[in-house]
Structure 1
Amino acid sequence: MAKISASVYTSHVPAIGAAIDLGKTEQEYWQPVFAGYDYSKEWIKENRPDVILLVYNDHANAFDSNFVPTFAIATGDEFKPADEGWGARPVPNVKGHSRLAAHIAQSVIQDEFDLTVVNTIDLDHGLTVPMSLMFGQPEEWPCLVIPIAVNVVLYPPPSGKRCYALGKALRRAVDSFDEDLNVQIWGTGGMSHQLQGPRAGLINREFDLDFLEQLIADPETLSQKPHIDYVRLAGSEGIELVMWLIARGAMNDEVVEKHRFYHVPASNTAVGHMILENS
């Protein structure tokens, strides 16, 4: 049977993708950021999954303001990197697992989550930057990926509680799949940052570090955090952190922390990263 063995959490700062693509990873500014993923690249080689459920948000590339689903799952066999206005990133196409994705859609919708099912979708930095951080620059990605898109761009985004519950529904869906697969779930986005207005550039280290700690020790309570707390304390884009709760909800209550990393700044945001294995 399919099982979720581990979860990965990481920021998906677009400037990180540009630094990789332009060969700037060893520059003084960027080297500390990428050093935080050295352990992760070795870990993923030893713990390579068959499939990744990659939870991310689209940034008005696949979905525009006319149509933004709260939760969407991509069920196709292959997905291209999106052109975000300056050309698509020079990364491989993502190969999907359409049978598992269709099973998850069926299971989760029957479990009372109204996922939007998407067959074709171009994938922006929200998904491709985490892949590059973990796998480097391969000619092909070494595992299959099922994109799960979450609206954290337009009001109203889903609550942390709803995201945490979706993670549990995804876990039930994977557990009921009839193929022997090693599955990981990744939660991406965040941490504290704001891109506009008088508070542009806001970074709240204390909030971020507390979030990382609570995500491991007490995710149930963390899931109750109201949206206004994210906005006030972590900036308008800090709400992306609810996607980490989806990944945590799909894990056991007790987990083993394999790696934790935090760095500021990268571009105008904080970078957070963690790897958890099921105990």
Structure 2
Amino acid sequence: TYRFYRIAKKFRPSVLMGLMGITIAPVGKLLGIPSLVFSDTENAKLANFIAYHLCTTYITPNCFERKKWKKNLRYNGYHELTYLHPNYFIPNEKILQEFEIQKNEKFILIRFVSWGASHDIGHHGIIEKMKIKAIEEFSKYGKVLVSSEEKLPLKLDKYKIKGPQEKIHHLIKFATLLYGESATMASEAAILGTYAIFLDNEGRGYTNDQEKRFNLVFNFSETMEDQKKSINKGIEILMNNKAKTEALKKSMELLDKTIDVTKLIVRIVLLINKSILKKN
């Protein structure tokens, strides 16, 4: 935070923006610079508390499952639309070759996280035995690719993604199913037209919303019973030959019923800048 303070003090930006806001909100308060904090993670309680009380505007999706506070601006959409809305992201099927996936090949993407964030304390995620079971079961229906923040057991190393990680959104777009522990990737999958299964004891307002409104994400807890249910749900999706077509249709509905979040951000920043110019 101190390093960022020194940079901001020297640069004197018109506005500070960031996710969670644990750094920008205090700096903005100290330097008298407007700060826009974006959050969608309800269980990041300490970060949310600090950021909200120190920022200028606290921006969350409508589906944020917390009481709406005075300076909380809400919008009809999801964070991931800022970079995956079709106005900005153009999927390229040719990139699949870089991940050793053949044209028209059915594949499943699995994501395991490290559970290292402050809001992940007390979580254990999917146990190793069930990770192996999920991969073995899903492999019966297509090629399985695993993206993992932690080192995979030797038995699963052959499933590790081989390809440029920065292009993974193209992979998500053309997958039949995304399964795992990442809320962000589950939301990305929903926006891109891929069914997602997400496991987390506390869940997220946005993945709950994407299940309730669009039936694109399926939420489960980390209990052993739910881990088994999540695998069965994955098998159910993979057995459905129309699954991808259905998911793409539902994602079109999602895009039709949400906003271009980037346009909203630009509008807010321009309004702030206009206000600053008037004062000067």
- TM-score by length of structure 2 reads 0.29
- TM-score by length of structure 1 reads 0.29
Q: Report the structure, 1 or 2, having the larger strand content.
A: 1
Q: Report the structure, 1 or 2, having the larger helix content.
A: 2
